[in-house]
């Protein structure tokens, strides 16, 4: 199974110049003949999610490369146009060159109170616009401490079930292609940007639970990719990559440096080859 290593740049870098510098070093390393990165990352699909303002420029630079470009979010209100100040629609981010979007990141849930219904709208808009979706779920520290992780994840995954219920009626073949267009990112909120990580065994057991739940929604989803996010770095990537339940990584801080991002990609490519 191909691994996914996805960089979530969040509200970074600050300037166009810094975006280009980051892309220069990323593409130079990927294209370098002296470097065996190309061979190593062939089993690993790379993707980066720049902020909305940099999306068109980044996707233009990535056009003829192996690196995919994603949005970090899309509007819940309309898949196209409308009076929704500050929003960018699925159609607009696709037109800017994104082929995927992250949805439900914990920072969106925390700072923008994204609910089940909002996420269902966004998921629907993305998929009908042919954007793939990296759907993020994860528990808080308090929920982890109270051993509520699986309950929390089940509630968050219910959005996928609602999506299937509504889409199945309209488009029976929709579900058969969903495996290729939907990735679940398990991101414990307490591990994001903190340097704290769950054990590989904990992540593995959680991914097994997620895969089991999603397969229960629809049989064709039994091969869904589930990736881990939360303080993944060049030093710990090998241990996550070595586990068969972990199909890749969603990377925040370490994706802002080409070296650490590609070290993570190499770790996954190596073990999934
Ligand atoms: C994230 O924000 O999705 C993330 C995983 O961040 P970090 O790698 O910095 O913990």
- Count of structural domains within the chain: 1
Tens of pLDDT along 188-203? 999 999 999 999 999 9
Q: How far apart are CA 211 and CA 179, in angstroms?
A: 12
Helix (H/G/I), strand (E/B), else coil: 124: helix
Mean pLDDT of the chain: 94
Is residue 27 domain-resident?
no
Q: What is the pLDDT of residue 38?
A: 46
Query: 105, 125, 207, 209: which one is catalytic?
Result: 105
Percent of the chain with pLDDT over 70: 93
In a domain, 57, yes or no: no
Give the residue among 67, 100, 129, 59 at the shortest CA–CA distance from 225: 100
7 close to ligand 1 (CB < 6 Angstrom): no
Sign of CA dihedral 36, 40, 45, 50: negative
Expressed in angstroms and rounded, the spacing between residue 169 Cα and the centre of ligand 1 is: 36
What's the pLDDT score for residue 36? 54
Residue 89 lies in a domain: no
Please provide residue 172's backbone torsions phi and psi, each rounded to the nearest 5 degrees.
-60, -30
Q: 20 versus 166: which is more confidently predicted?
A: 20
Confidence of residue 170 (pLDDT cuts 50, 70, 90): low
Q: What is the DSSP letter of 242?
A: T
CA 192 to centroid of ligand 1, rounded, Å: 5
CA of 174 to the centre of ligand 1 (A): 30
Query: Which of the four pLDDT bands, split at 50, 70 and 90, describes residue 92?
Result: very high
Residue nearest to atom 1 of ligand 1 (CA): 252
Q: What is the per-residue pLDDT for 65?
A: 95
pLDDT at residue 183 in the model: 98
Instruction: State the Cα–Cα distance between residues 171 and 194, nearest whole angstrom.
Output: 42
105 in active site: yes
Taking the CA of residue 194 as reference, the ligand 1 atom at the shortest distance is: 10
Whether residue 149 is contained in a domain is answered as yes
- State if residue 5 touches ligand 1 by the CB under 6 angstroms criterion: no
Answer whether residue 129 shows pLDDT above 70.
yes
> Which of the following is catalytic: 107, 139, 167, 187?
187
| Cβ burial 51-88 (10 Å sphere, 16+ → b, else e) | bbebbbbbbebbeeeebbbbbbbbbbebbeeeeeeeeb
pLDDT in tens, 243-272: 999 999 999 999 999 999 999 999 999 886
Cα 154 to Cα 12, 105, 185, distances in angstroms:
31, 16, 14
Evaluate the omega torsion of the peptide bond into residue 13 and state whether it is cis, within 30 degrees of 0: yes
**Where residue 43 falls among pLDDT bands split at 50, 70, 90?**
confident
Task: Look at residue 110 and tell me if it is in a domain.
Answer: yes
What's the rounded Cα separation, in Å, for the pair 49 and 100? 9
Domain presence at residue 206 = yes
Mutate which of 230, 236, 240, 263 to test ligand 1's pocket (most atoms within 8 Å of Cβ)?
A: 230
* Six token digits for residue 114: 């994204």
255 CA to centre of ligand 1 in angstroms: 9
CA distance 50 to 256: 10
267 touches ligand 1 (CB under 6 Å): no
Q: What is the CATH number of the domain that holds 251?
A: 3.20.20.70
Domain that holds residue 176: 98-273
230 CB near ligand 1 (under 6 Å): yes
CA of 249 to the centre of ligand 1 (A): 9
Distance from C-alpha of 120 to C-alpha of 124, rounded to nearest angstrom = 6
Q: What is the pLDDT of residue 168?
A: 57
Tokens 């470009």 correspond to 69
> Closest ligand 1 atom, CA of 253?
9
Active site residue 77: no
Of 237 and 43, the structure prediction assigns the larger pLDDT to 237
For the stretch 48-72, pLDDT in tens is 999 999 999 999 999 999 999 999 9
Of 1 and 269, which is predicted with more confidence?
269
**Which residue minimizes the CA distance to atom 4 of ligand 1?**
252
- pLDDT, one tens digit per residue, over 142-163 is 999 999 999 999 999 999 999 9
Answer whether residue 44 is part of any domain: no
Phi, then psi, of 257 in degrees rounded to 5: -125, 125
Scanning the chain, the segments in alpha helix (DSSP H) are: 16-31, 37-40, 55-62, 90-95, 106-112, 116-128, 141-145, 149-170, 178-181, 200-217, 237-241, 258-272
Q: Does residue 68 belong to any structural domain of this protein? A: no
Whether the predicted pLDDT of 39 surpasses 50: no
Spacing, Cα 189 to ligand 1 middle (Å): 9
| Closest CA relative to residue 226, chosen from 196, 182, 194 | 182
3-state per-residue secondary structure call for 87-108: CCCHHHHHHCCCCEEEECCHHH
pTM of the model: 0.95
């Amino acid at each position: 199974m191909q691994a996914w290593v996805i960089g979530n740049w969040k509200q970074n870098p600050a300037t166009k110049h810094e975006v280009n510098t980051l892309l220069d070093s990323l593409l130079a390393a990927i294209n370098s003949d002296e470097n065996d990165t190309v061979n190593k990352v062939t089993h690993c699909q790379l993707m980066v999610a720049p902020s909305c303002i940099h999306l068109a420029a980044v996707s233009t630079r990535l056009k003829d490369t192996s690196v995919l470009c994603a949005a970090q979010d899309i509007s819940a209100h309309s898949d196209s146009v409308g009076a929704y100040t500050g929003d960018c629609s699925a159609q607009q981010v696709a037109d800017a060159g994104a082929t995927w979007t992250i949805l439900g990141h914990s920072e969106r849930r925390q700072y923008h109170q994204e609910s089940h219904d909002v996420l269902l709208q966004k998921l629907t808009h993305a998929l009908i616009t042919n954007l793939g979706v990296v759907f993020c779920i994860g528990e808080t520290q308090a929920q982890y401490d109270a051993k509520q992780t699986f309950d929390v994840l089940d509630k968050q995954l219910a959005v996928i079930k609602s999506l299937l219920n509504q889409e199945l009626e309209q488009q029976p073949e929709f579900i058969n292609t969903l495996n290729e267009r939907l990735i679940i990112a398990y991101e414990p909120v307490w591990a994001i940007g903190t340097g704290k990580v769950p054990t590989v065994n904990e992540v593995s057991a959680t991914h097994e639970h997620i895969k089991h739940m999603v397969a229960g929604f629809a049989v064709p989803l039994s091969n869904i990719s589930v990736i881990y996010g939360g303080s993944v770095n060049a030093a710990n990537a090998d241990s996550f990559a070595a586990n068969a339940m972990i199909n890749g990584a969603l990377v925040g801080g370490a994706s802002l440096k080409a070296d650490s991002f590609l070290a993570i990609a190499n770790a996954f490519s190596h073990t999934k080859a």
